[in-house]
């Protein structure tokens, strides 16, 4: 018997499918603006100096044992300080349940599984648009999904009124999946004042904010500032959850290192919640990998290395910000039109406003990006920005 005859091919992943197309193109001058991975001005992947130094320090480590189900405790402690603030009473009072996760994706999946198990029937509200994998993650975990308005194509900015209406209309006690900073794919974040209003309304409605923070430090260049949304919600007395990833901000993409956390009301609750996070981890992958946890703990545990890391994150953010200016200037000088949204948006992506037809036309010119017109700014360099701007003008005019 053929057990798998009914299995149909899965749809192509909209982001990783772009990489496949790029790799298949023989043109030596091809440009990949698909996947969100940082590149230097020569288009090469980067290993941060703080990570190189941490690698030296852990080299020859005799410890290759399993980590516990919740991962490396020291790593989780450092991560909570980074996300919630060193002196936050929830951190110092040991009221945050946390486990090491398989990067941001793994954190989100743990949250989705946790919701399914302990808040059955609760819905998760997801921004339109969002990182495509959010739908896969919560869908596969069998959590009911709803969407809420976020982005306004006409202004290429935030649909604040629409967002507030949808938050108000959602059934009380719903879960809202928020991007803590550098929204993917739009590059549009609420201002601090807008976050305050969103927080107040969500508190009135008794909603739960879950922050996906895949880009801490990448938005403004300042890790503390990029966590301000969480701070605002905490100061309003919310219970919150957070998914952290060190893929982008520490360049540890392939190490799969992140942290999943939920704030609790007291230490006892924290112990129970954390034990259930570990129970899910146990049945899913047993325990997380060691190397990335050692690297991050080494960097965050040494004030000098941490300072170097802050400097290097800022360096990456600044290069992206300067490429936004270069792309906008090039586009405006060729087209005479306004491309202000390119510099208004922040983080790794520029939501260009180009249609899938425009993007198809760019493929013909060996320039690759997702069909929703999202440009990974990390792939833009001083060497290719002019070519890119010309091509974008040609296909859009
Ligand atoms: N959330 C968002 C919004 C993302 O953009 C990404 C990375 N593309 C992730 C989570 C997770 O990435 P990773 O699993 O590599 O940390």
pLDDT at residue 14, as a whole number: 81
336 CA → ligand 1 middle, Å: 35
Task: Note the pTM of the prediction, 2 decimals.
Answer: 0.96
| Mean pLDDT of the region 213-229 | 96
Q: How far is the C-alpha of 57 from the C-alpha of 123, rounded, in Å?
A: 45
| Mean pLDDT of the region 145-174 | 96
- For residue range 14-39, list pLDDT tens digits in order: 888 889 999 999 999 999 999 889 99
Q: Exposed, middle or buried, 78 (CB in 10 Å: 0-12/13-18/19+)? A: buried
234 CA → ligand 1 middle, Å: 23
246 CA → ligand 1 middle, Å: 9
The contacts of residue 396 (CB under 8 Å, 6+ apart) are 335, 354, 358
| Mean pLDDT of the region 141-165 | 96
- For residue range 293-323, list pLDDT tens digits in order: 999 999 999 999 999 999 999 999 999 999 9
Give me the residues paired with residue 294 across strands. none
CB distance 237 to 203 below 8 Å: yes
ipTM of the complex: 0.99
| Structure-token pair, residue 20 | 């496949």
- Tell me: pLDDT of 62 over 80: no
Give the atom of ligand 1 at the shortest distance from the alpha carbon of 108: 10
4 CA → ligand 1 middle, Å: 31
Q: Exposed, middle or buried, 86 (CB in 10 Å: 0-12/13-18/19+)? A: exposed
Q: How far is the C-alpha of 348 from the C-alpha of 374, rounded, in Å?
A: 10
- For residue range 79-115, list pLDDT tens digits in order: 999 999 999 999 999 999 999 999 999 999 999 999 9
- For residue range 186-218, list pLDDT tens digits in order: 999 999 999 999 999 999 999 999 999 999 999
Q: How far is the C-alpha of 23 from the C-alpha of 16, rounded, in Å?
A: 11
Give me the residues paired with residue 148 across strands. 127
**Ligand 1 probe mutation, 33, 105, 211, 379, most atoms within 8 A of CB:** 105
337 CA → ligand 1 middle, Å: 33
| Structure-token pair, residue 25 | 């193109």
Which residue has a Cα nearest atom 2 of ligand 1? 214
pLDDT tier at 330, thresholds 50, 70, 90: very high
Q: How far is the C-alpha of 241 from the C-alpha of 249, rounded, in Å?
A: 20
Give the atom of ligand 1 at the shortest distance from the alpha carbon of 183: 3
> Which residues sit with their C-beta closer than 6 Å to ligand 1?
36, 103-105, 131, 179, 184, 212, 214, 245, 247, 253, 258
pLDDT at residue 61, as a whole number: 81
Average pLDDT, the chain: 96
CB distance 36 to 248 below 8 Å: yes
Give the atom of ligand 1 at the shortest distance from the alpha carbon of 212: 1
Give me the residues paired with residue 297 across strands. none
Q: Exposed, middle or buried, 157 (CB in 10 Å: 0-12/13-18/19+)? A: middle
List, by residue number, the catalytic residues.
131, 212, 248
The contacts of residue 213 (CB under 8 Å, 6+ apart) are 83, 104, 179, 180, 181, 226, 227, 230, 242, 243, 244, 245
Three-state DSSP state, 275? helix
| Mean pLDDT of the region 375-383 | 96
- Give the residue among 374, 388, 367, 380 at the shortest CA–CA distance from 321: 380
User: What DSSP assignment string belongs to 213-230?
Assistant: ES-TTTTTS-HHHHTHHH
């Amino acid at each position: 018997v053929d057990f798998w005859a009914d299995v149909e091919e899965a749809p192509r992943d909209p982001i990783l499918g772009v990489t496949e197309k790029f790799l298949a193109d023989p043109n030596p001058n091809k440009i990949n603006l698909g996947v969100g991975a940082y590149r230097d001005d020569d288009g090469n992947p980067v290993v941060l100096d703080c990570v190189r130094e941490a690698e030296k320090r852990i080299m020859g480590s005799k410890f290759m044992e399993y980590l516990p189900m919740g991962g490396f405790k020291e790593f989780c402690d450092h991560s909570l300080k980074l996300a919630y603030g060193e002196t936050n009473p929830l951190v110092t009072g040991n009221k945050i349940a946390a486990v090491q996760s398989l990067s941001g994706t793994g954190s989100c999946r743990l949250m989705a599984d946790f919701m399914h198990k302990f808040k059955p029937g609760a819905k998760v509200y997801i921004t339109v648009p969002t990182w495509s994998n959010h739908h896969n993650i919560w869908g596969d975990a069998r959590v009911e999904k709803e969407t809420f308005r976020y982005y306004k194509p006409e202004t290429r900015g935030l649909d604040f009124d629409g967002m507030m209406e949808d938050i108000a209309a959602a059934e009380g006690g719903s879960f809202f999946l928020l991007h803590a900073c550098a929204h993917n794919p739009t590059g549009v974040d609420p201002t601090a004042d807008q976050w305050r209003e969103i927080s107040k309304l969500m508190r009135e409605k008794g909603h739960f904010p879950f922050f996906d923070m895949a880009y801490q430090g990448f938005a403004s260049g300042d890790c503390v500032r990029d966590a301000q949304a969480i701070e605002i919600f905490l100061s309003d007395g919310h219970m919150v959850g957070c998914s952290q990833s060190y893929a982008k901000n520490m360049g540890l993409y392939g190490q799969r290192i992140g942290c999943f956390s939920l704030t609790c009301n007291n230490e006892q609750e924290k112990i129970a919640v954390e034990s259930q996070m570990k129970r899910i981890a146990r049945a899913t992958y047993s325990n997380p990998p060691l190397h990335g946890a050692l690297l991050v703990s080494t960097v965050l545990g040494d004030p000098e290395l941490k300072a170097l890391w802050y400097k290097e994150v800022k360096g990456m953010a600044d290069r992206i910000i300067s490429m936004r200016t270069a792309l906008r200037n090039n586009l405006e000088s060729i087209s005479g039109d306004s491309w202000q949204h390119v510099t208004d948006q922040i983080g790794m992506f520029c939501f260009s406003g180009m249609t899938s037809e425009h993007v198809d036309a760019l493929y013909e010119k060996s320039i690759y990006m997702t069909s929703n017109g999202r440009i990974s700014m990390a792939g833009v360099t001083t060497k290719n920005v002019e070519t890119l701007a010309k091509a974008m003008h040609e296909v859009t005019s």
